[in-house]
Amino acid sequence: MIVRPKPGLWQLFFIMRGSIVPRILPQIVGFAAYAVGVVALVRYFRIELSGFTIAPFGLLGVTLSIYLGFRNNAAYDRWWEARKLWGQLVYDVRNLARATTGLIPLREERRSLLMDALAFCHLLRGQVRRIDSMGDARPFIGDAVENLAAFANRPDEMVRRMGKRVASLREGGAIDSIGYRILDERLSAIAAMQAGCERIAGTPLPFAYTLLLHRTAYIVCLLLPFGLATTAGWVTPLFTALIAYTFFGLDALSEKLEDPFGTEANDLALDALCRVCEISVFEALGEPAPPLLEAQNFFYS
| Tens of pLDDT, residues 81-135 | 999 999 999 999 999 999 999 899 899 999 999 999 999 999 999 999 999 999 9
- Rounded Cα distance between 86 and 120, Å, is 12
Burial 226-249 (b: 16+ CB within 10 A, else e): bbbbbebeeebbebbbebbbebbb
Cα(first)–Cα(last) distance of the chain, in Å? 6
Taking alpha carbons only, the member of 267, 266, 271, 260 closest to residue 294 is 271
- Rounded Cα distance between 79 and 259, Å, is 7
pLDDT class of 260 with cuts at 50, 70, 90: very high
- Rounded Cα distance between 121 and 136, Å, is 10
Residues 108-122 have pLDDT tens digits of 999 999 999 999 999
Residues 207-254 have pLDDT tens digits of 888 888 888 889 889 988 888 888 888 999 999 999 999 889 988 888
Percent of the chain topping pLDDT 70: 95
Taking alpha carbons only, the member of 94, 37, 53 closest to residue 277 is 94
